[in-house]
Amino acid sequence: MLKCVVVCRYPWEMLKCALLCAGVLSLKLLRIVVPPYTYQGEKALLQCQYELENDRLYSVTWYKDHEEFYRYVPKSHPPQHSYPLEGIKVDHHQSDGQQVLLKNVNLKASGKYRCEVSAEAPSFTSVHGEGRMEVVALPKEGPQITGEEGMYQVGDVISLNCTSGKSYPPARLRWYINGRPVVPDYNAVVQQHGLVTSVVGLRFEVRPHHFSSGHMQIRCVATISTDLEQSDPPDRAPLLEDNRETLLLGRQPFVLHQLTVHILNNVSAC
């Protein structure tokens, strides 16, 4: 209909436009549903909702990142056809001209999914829609702080590393001393089989003010967010966020006592 409006901009085209718009109530896309994230190893259902109106269907084609992986052509035999694409396995039984079910998705299934619906000849009017899906692998454990030496005196240099568990997307590590964020001295990532381990280092000299309340708390927080790789700054709330942290507590005389507390495992709703 939109197209019709565009075509009939001019009054002298109104008649032709009216005929066109009235006579050819053609194919239109209603909705495309692509889950924004899916955990590794789970199923993902992709839906393409359209209205054929007076058209007959020629094909429904599914692309991931411009690569076709599934096609539904009613005139073809069999009408379903899927093509191998890394990380994608189509469940033909639960797929048709309206939806595709991906089985056991892995990290490679992340990407932009597009469906294109084409009507039959002669117009072959086509409509398409697309959505992005991220496959997320959460770490099995929380971040770990290494490098503590048990006893420190004021004036000693504390040099620590915080290492996240393997995940995708990579965890973002942040240091806090006594609840206040501090800039890490360095960052590093280690990739392995599509999963990423993040390391951040912290180095500082122990000062009396670190013990304002008689003890000192050093915290490392690991955050996994589906929004991390997307637009920056994020224009909308992350779809998924997973935070884990580790604490080091120190008391005078300095004894660092390690505690591992799983504080949060929040999953934001869509």
Partner 1 sequence: MMPCDITPRDRDDAVYMVLWFKEADGEPLYSFDVRGRQFGQAKLWSAPTAFGTRAYFRTASTPAQLLVDDVALSDEGMYRCRVDFRNTPTRNLKINLTVIVPPERPVIYDDKRRDRRKLLERYNEGSDVYLVCEVTGGRPRPRVTWFLENTIIDDSYTHEPNDITTNHLSFPNIGRQHLNARLICQASNTNLTHAQSEVIVLDVNLKPVAVHITTKDKQVSADKRYDVECRSSGSRPEAIITWWKNSRQIKRVTKNHLEEGNQSVSVLSFVPTIEDDGKYLTCRAENPEINDSALEDRWRLNVHYVPMVTLKMGSSLNPDDIKEGDDVYFECNIRANPKAYRLAWFHNGHEIHHNVTAGVILSDHSLVLQGVTRHTAGDYTCLAANTEGKGTSNPATLRVMFVPTCKDDREELLGALKHETVALRCEVDANPPLVTFHWTFNNSGDLAEVPPSRFTSVGSVSRLNYTPVTDMDYGTLACWGFNAVGHQRSPCIFQVVAAGRPFPLINCSVVNQTSDSLHVECLESFDGGLPQSFLMELLELPGLRPRYNVTVARGPPMFDIYGMEPGASYQVNLYAVNAKGRSEPYIIEAVTFKGVAKFTGPSASLPMNPVLTGLIATAVGLLVVVCAVVVALYRRHQHRRHPRQAKLSQLEAALHQADDPVSADGGCAGAGHTTPLNPTASSTGGVIVAADHRTTEDTDPDIIPNKYERRPLKGFMKMYKTPPQRRRKKNDTEDEEGILREELNHRHLAKDIHNNQVNSVCNLRAHKGVTASSPLSAGPETLTSSAPLMHKLGPEVVTASHRMQESCI
Residues that bind partner 1 (CB under 8 A): 3, 27, 58-59, 61, 63, 66-69, 71, 75, 81, 83, 118, 121-128
Task: Calculate the alpha carbon distances from 62 to 1, 48, 104, 115, 144 in Å.
Answer: 24, 9, 18, 4, 42
Give min distance, CB of 95 to partner 1, in A: 16
Q: Which residues pair with 103 in a beta bridge?
A: none
Give min distance, CB of 194 to partner 1, in A: 24
**Which residue lies nearer to partner 1 by CB, 69 or 254?**
69
Whether the ω angle into residue 78 lies within 30 degrees of 0, i.e. cis, is: yes
Task: Say if CB 262 and CB 242 are below 8 A apart.
Answer: no
Task: Say if CB 194 and CB 107 are below 8 A apart.
Answer: yes
The one-character DSSP state at 210 is G
**Which residue lies nearer to partner 1 by CB, 16 or 251?**
16
Give min distance, CB of 202 to partner 1, in A: 49
Whether the ω angle into residue 208 lies within 30 degrees of 0, i.e. cis, is: no
What is the Cα–Cα distance from 179 to 181, expressed in whole angstroms? Answer: 6
Task: Say if CB 202 and CB 162 are below 8 A apart.
Answer: yes
Give min distance, CB of 13 to partner 1, in A: 11
**Which residue lies nearer to partner 1 by CB, 3 or 251?**
3
**Which residue lies nearer to partner 1 by CB, 47 or 126?**
126
Give min distance, CB of 125 to partner 1, in A: 5
Task: Say if CB 69 and CB 82 are below 8 A apart.
Answer: yes
**Which residue lies nearer to partner 1 by CB, 16 or 103?**
16
